[in-house]
């Protein structure tokens, strides 16, 4: 399986709507690893790693959230790292 890692900034109505919880809920059964956190400016930052199709399903699931509205995604492919889980973080 080819793994990729993506750094994504989500803009829109993405804070206070269960975005991080939903990301963790969807990512874990898809076998994805990485992290998600709120940013001070109202955006949400994520690094996600795994099968490209699974990452696509994660994003599709986020876009179909009842209260989540993604207006823009800034996506950059970055090097794959070694990690075991997908988690919510508050690190700066």
**Span 38-67, mean pLDDT?**
96
Q: Is the pLDDT of residue 13 over 60?
A: yes
Angle at the Cα of 76 from the Cα atoms of 75 and 82, rounded to 5 degrees: 115
pTM over 0.75: yes
- Per the annotation, the verdict on 38 as an active-site residue is yes
Q: Is the pLDDT of residue 91 over 70?
A: no
**Span 27-37, mean pLDDT?**
97
The predicted-structure confidence for 34-48, as pLDDT tens digits, reads as follows 999 999 999 999 999
- Per the annotation, the verdict on 20 as an active-site residue is yes
**Span 83-87, mean pLDDT?**
96
For residue 33, what are the CA distances in angstroms to 16, 56, 66?
Answer: 23, 14, 24
Tokens of 17: 């709507």
* Residue tagged active-site, from 5, 13, 38, 69: 38
The size of the chain, in residues, is 92
* Residue tagged active-site, from 5, 13, 20, 87: 20
* CB-CB contact of 36 with 8 (8 Å): no
């Amino acid at each position: 399986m080819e793994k990729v890692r993506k750094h994504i900034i989500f803009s829109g109505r993405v804070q206070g709507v269960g975005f991080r919880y939903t990301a963790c809920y969807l990512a874990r059964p898809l076998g994805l690893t990485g992290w998600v956190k709120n940013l001070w400016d109202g955006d949400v930052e994520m690094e996600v790693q795994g099968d490209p199709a699974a990452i696509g399903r994660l994003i599709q699931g986020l876009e179909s959230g009842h209260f989540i509205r993604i207006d823009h995604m800034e996506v950059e492919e970055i090097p794959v790292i070694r990690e075991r889980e997908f988690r919510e973080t508050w690190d700066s």
